[in-house]
Amino acid sequence: MTKRILLGVAATALVIVAAYADFYVAPTERTMGLIQRIFYFHAATAWAGEMVFFVCFVANLMYVWKREQKYDWLGVTCAEVGVACITIVLITGPIWAKPVWGIYWTWDARLTSTFVLWLLYISYLLLRTLIEEPSRRALLSALFGIFAFLDVPLVFFSIRWWRTQHPAPVIMGGQGSGLDPTMKKVFYFNVLAMHIFCAFLIVERYILEKLRHDVDLLQREAEVQ
Amino acid sequence: MKNLDSVFAAYIVGWAVFFGFFLSIVRRTSALAAEVDRLKNSIRPKG
């Protein structure tokens, strides 16, 4: 319990410091102005969301291989946390896009693949509500989760493979890309803060899933009596 | 200060989603913890 509280306090402190850095430490971008500050929150949340989906993918693979419940719990936990992250990405992106592009949304490669990613993991969560039998639910959702993860590399590479509306990458974008050194430090700090915040959410959500399992066991025990 | 309202809107809406999600975890966890206690008491009644 103490470790959970410490993780929660550390995660909250980090995201507060990160938000302060976004507004007061990072310099104002020359062409976009203030609106570019959304980048630190938007992109850091996207990176954290994709990392959470990667953990979900590993948990899904491990479930198919080992058939241990803890991997099923981790899979559903990460799917929910990842959906929360991508929901934020899909909200903050259009808020940033409107003043810069003149439109909230366009069906370009990055935006569409991100929206499909969100739909895939919403489907993963819905699928779980449709199957009653626990081991069948765990196996089918793990297989679907492995399939859903195939979209993550597509999201990542979409702005490298296709030049559409979304800007080209400024991090790991090859020659001609890059960020001001202070912007880069602020961005990486945001990435760190968001990953730790997501780790905190994963721990809390995992405990919920474990409790759900305990309730199922106790209900069965009560039925036998 | 152009677009400052949009920047704040993005941060506020974004954190509202995280806060709402965290709140839903807390609510569901406390409901399940209460259910665990109830079931334990019904299986092993006192006295």
Q: Which residues of A touch B10 (CB under 8 A)?
A: 38, 41-42, 91-92, 95-96
Q: Is A12 on the interface with B (CB under 8 A)?
A: no
Residue ranges of the domains in chain A? 2-224
The pTM score is: 0.93
Q: Into which CATH architecture does domain A2-224 fall?
A: Up-down Bundle (1.20)
pLDDT category of residue A166 using cuts at 50, 70 and 90? confident
CB-CB contact of A170 with A178 (8 Å):
yes
Q: What pLDDT sits at residue A159?
A: 85
CA distance A22 to A77: 29
Q: For residue A61, which of A131, A124, A149 has the smallest C-alpha distance?
A: A149
Say which of B1, B25, B35 has its CB closest to residue A205.
B25
Given CB atoms, is A166 within the 8 Å cutoff of chain B?
Answer: no
- Suggest the residue from B13, B15, B28, B39 to mutate for an interface test with chain A (most A CBs closer than 10 A): B39
Q: Would the pLDDT of B46 be above 60?
A: no
Closest CA to A44 of A202, A185, A201: A185
**Residue A176's pLDDT band (boundaries 50, 70, 90)?**
low
Q: Give me the torsion for CA of A63, A69, A75, A78, rounded to 10°.
A: -150
- Position B2 scores a pLDDT of 78
> What are the tokens at A16?
């507060």
In angstroms, what CA-CA distances link A113 with A131, A166, A171? 27, 12, 19
Complex confidence, ipTM: 0.91
Q: Per-residue confidence at A173, pLDDT binned at 50, 70, 90?
A: low
Per-residue model confidence (pLDDT) at position B44: 74
Contact A127, A140 (CB under 8 A): yes
Q: For chain A, what percent of residues have pLDDT higher than 70?
A: 98
Average pLDDT, chain A: 93
